[in-house]
Amino acid sequence: MRILSCNIRYFGAPDGADRWEHRKECCINTIRSCDPDLIGCQEVWAEQVVDMQEAFPKYAWYGIVDEVDGKNPVDAIFYRRDKYDLISSGGYWLSETPHITGSSSWDSTCIRLANWVRLRDRLTGKTFRCINTHLDHISQPARENQARLILEDAAAYAVDFPQILTGDMNSDGKNKAMQSIIAADWVDTYAAVHGAEAPAPTFHGFQGPAYQGELGRIDWIFVRGGCAVTTAAVIEDHCDGRYPSDHHFVMADIDLT
């Protein structure tokens, strides 16, 4: 099973030459070249869902909108409809009141949430769960508490039940939020393949290797339970110098055990 985590940069961002309409084909072609089974996307606006549906007709998708009067399924999950059957799906807000639409806590700069789908592999009959999220980019208390809520939710499942967590965590490996996830027996797929050495930053502001920011990898794929990691990579592709997003996408291949 191939998994991608893709912060695709939101449709309405004031990015000039890197606005969605200028890089849409590059983004879609980059995703297509990876041939994923599951895609955890962040910053997805409704207009981008339409473009993704047209580009990837073999994929179904799920995502709740973030705000009470909103339209954007910001943390949408796409999955191959010809490989997987949807058993259940849901989502919750990363706040002290996770079932109240549009709620936020801990000085979170943005409304943050998590979506999840539970799927059955048609070939093997095995079931698994994929969670997709986007932690806050400013408030450290928010990041730590948002990670805690995700861990508490996932802990309702048996320890050997396969779960996948994708997301823009706005945290590198030194951050307590990421350390708490690893301490809860989630496996960092990149480290499982490449060891402790961190890759180049995944956020790059459309600059690629020229980016000089301090943060390292902030886009992650974790697994828990019956999952064996076989491959992991940071996707640094570009289209004649134009990048598909302001983040590099991350990829992992896993087997359900």
Token code pair at residue 107:
């000085």
**pLDDT bracket for residue 197 (50, 70, 90):** confident
Residue 155 sits in a domain of what CATH number? 3.60.10.10
Q: Is the pLDDT of residue 200 over 90?
A: no
For the chain, what percent of residues have pLDDT higher than 70? 100
CA-closest candidate to residue 220, choices 248, 257, 250: 250
pLDDT tens by residue, 156-165: 999 999 999 9
Distance, CA of 27 to CA of 23 (rounded, Å): 6
Query: Can you give the pLDDT at residue 182?
Result: 97
Distance, CA of 123 to CA of 141 (rounded, Å): 42
Q: Is the pLDDT of residue 211 over 80?
A: yes
Which residues, listed in sequence order, are joined to residue 46 by a DSSP beta bridge?
Answer: none
Average pLDDT over residues 202-214: 93
Residue entry with tokens 């948002």: 146
What value does the mean pLDDT of the chain take? Answer: 97
Q: Is the pLDDT of residue 199 over 90?
A: no
Per the structure, the count of domains in the chain is: 1
Side-chain half-sphere CA neighbours of 66 within 13 A: 21
**pLDDT bracket for residue 73 (50, 70, 90):** very high
Residue 185: phi, psi to the nearest 5?
A: 70, 25
Q: Is the pLDDT of residue 105 over 80?
A: yes
CA-closest candidate to residue 56, choices 76, 73, 42: 76
Query: Helix, strand or coil for residue 183?
Result: helix
The widest CA-to-CA distance across the chain, in whole angstroms, is 47
pLDDT tens by residue, 124-178: 999 999 999 999 999 999 999 999 999 999 999 999 999 999 999 999 999 999 9
**pLDDT bracket for residue 216 (50, 70, 90):** confident
Token code pair at residue 121:
């592999």
Residue 156 DSSP label: T
Query: Helix, strand or coil for residue 218?
Result: coil
Q: Which domain holds residue 10?
A: 2-256
